[in-house]
Amino acid sequence: MEFFRSINKRILALAAMVLLVFFCVVPAGASSGGEGEDVVVKDIVLEHINDSYEWHIGKFWGKHVAIPLPVILYTKEKGLVCFSSSHLHGGHQYNGFAIAQEGDYAGKVVEILPCGSQIRPLDFSITKTVAGLLVNSAIVVLMILGAARYYRRNGKVDSQAPKGWAGLVEMLVESLVDGVIKPCVGPRYRKFAPYLLTAFTFIFVNNIMGIIPIFPAGTNITGNIAATLVLAVATFLVTNLYGTKHYWKEVLWPDVPLWLKAPLPIMPAIEIIGLFTKPFALMIRLFANIMAGHSVILILTCIVFVTVKMGAAVNASMSAVSIFLGIFMNCLELLVAFLQAYVFTMLSSVFIGMAQEGGEHH
């Protein structure tokens, strides 16, 4: 009973937090213009999904609050250039650099040449996504080290099961290892368990932090295709670099009729293409699901402000619908946050397990 009471308290706390965001934080930053200006839903959604050179916290008492981030560029003429993104605020230029407002480089730092043309320098800037990635990575490290402290104090063998945070982490790790990694990878699962557990924890923490709209959370990490690309490439490298001889034999010379392998390598070509389509599916699945969830929540929030000019009755009723659906979508996103991390780990385990086959047929 105590467990269910604690769960109910957490649900009520989540609902209260969502209501607080709807009535305080979101109304303050939903409209970028003054009073009476129309709310552009597209701009609000893209502002959250896209990357930026500053970390916008919100709009309080009519003023935008944002943290400027370091801009790190390299050009052939000027070499390595570092400065604060506050110098580029409001479309200003600094040392020949500016943020493009339109064109192919819209939203990116460009170098303004004397002739007026724009070129894109090598950009190593700490953007909002990178800063959020560093924060979330630090959270992952602290989470795991916090659980590891229990075992350093009590040893690996203990008569009692660990309690608190260490018990939660142990339960999660054991369920993933025994239920996903071990059955999918096979006898050599211990070699790949550290990577798979790290991938799950990293994705799950980033998904959860992306739902929370309050600083230092709220960054769209796993909804950024660059982040999911790196995760997919990591799985691709682990799968193929540690593949067995039988695995590569089935890729380059599979057990199919000879006319499917020579003179035209039809099946080898299909197998090689499959090496890249598997991680590509991992990348798109995670990216699309997280980005879609964030977009839907923002669109539902904007209903409150879009219907302001339709009258008090329409605005009040649509606001109630928006709040209800917003709470429902946030709760659903909690499930999606875990589910997408679980699916990525499970599919990665399956791909790695396929590459560990030794030719036996079970």
pLDDT of residue 175: 92
pTM assigned to the model: 0.82
Per-residue pLDDT, 104? 81
Q: Give the span between the Cα atoms of 347 and 173, in whole angstroms.
A: 17
| Distance, C-alpha 70 to centroid of its chain | 22
Q: What is residue 38's predicted lDDT score, i.e. its pLDDT? A: 65
- Ramachandran bin of 116, using left for φ above 0, alpha for ψ from -120 to 50, beta for the remaining angles: left
Residues 231, 286 contacting (CB under 8 angstroms):
yes
Distance, CA of 243 to CA of 252 (rounded, Å): 13
Let me know if 51 is exposed, middle or buried by CB neighbors in 10 A (0-12, 13-18, 19+).
middle
Which pLDDT score is estimated for 25? 40
**How far apart are the C-alpha atoms of 362 and 351, rounded to whole Å?**
17
CA distance 181 to 151: 23
99/53 Cα distance (integer angstroms) = 9
Rounded to whole angstroms, the Cα distance separating 95 from 50 reads: 25
| Model pLDDT, residue 167 | 84
Give SS3 for 28.
helix
What local confidence, expressed as pLDDT, does residue 95 receive? 86
The pLDDT value recorded for residue 39 is 67
DSSP label at residue 259:
G
Distance CA 73, CA 109 (A): 9
| 98 torsion bin: left (phi>0), alpha (psi -120 to 50), beta (else) | beta
CA distances (Å), origin 154, targets 113, 164, 172: 64, 14, 20
Q: How far apart are the first and last CA of the chain?
A: 45
User: By the 8 A CB rule, do 210 and 290 touch?
Assistant: yes
Count of helix runs (H) and strand runs (E) in the chain:
11, 8
Can you read off the two tokens belonging to residue 121?
A: 């320098």
Q: Residue 118: what pLDDT?
A: 87
- Count of Cβ atoms closer than 10 Å to residue 287 Cβ: 21
CA angle 81, 86, 90 (to 5 degrees): 115
Residue 284's nearest CA partner among 352, 340, 210, 213 is 340
d(CA 261, CA 187): 31
Q: What is the pLDDT of residue 30?
A: 43
Farthest-apart Cα atoms in the chain, separation: 75
H/E segment holding residue 10: helix 2-20
CA pseudo-torsion sign 227, 230, 235, 238: negative
Task: Give pLDDT, residue 31.
Answer: 41
pLDDT tens for the chain, 362 residues: list them: 444 444 445 544 554 444 444 444 443 344 444 444 566 777 777 777 888 888 888 778 878 788 899 999 998 888 899 999 888 887 788 888 998 888 788 888 988 888 878 889 999 999 999 999 999 999 999 999 888 888 787 766 555 677 778 888 888 999 999 999 999 998 989 999 999 999 999 999 999 998 888 888 888 899 889 999 999 999 999 999 998 898 898 888 888 888 888 788 888 899 999 999 999 999 999 999 998 888 888 888 888 888 888 888 888 888 888 889 888 988 898 899 999 999 999 999 999 999 987 645 44
Domain boundaries, the chain: 70-123, 173-355
pLDDT of residue 353: 92
At 118, which helix (H) or strand (E)? strand 118-119
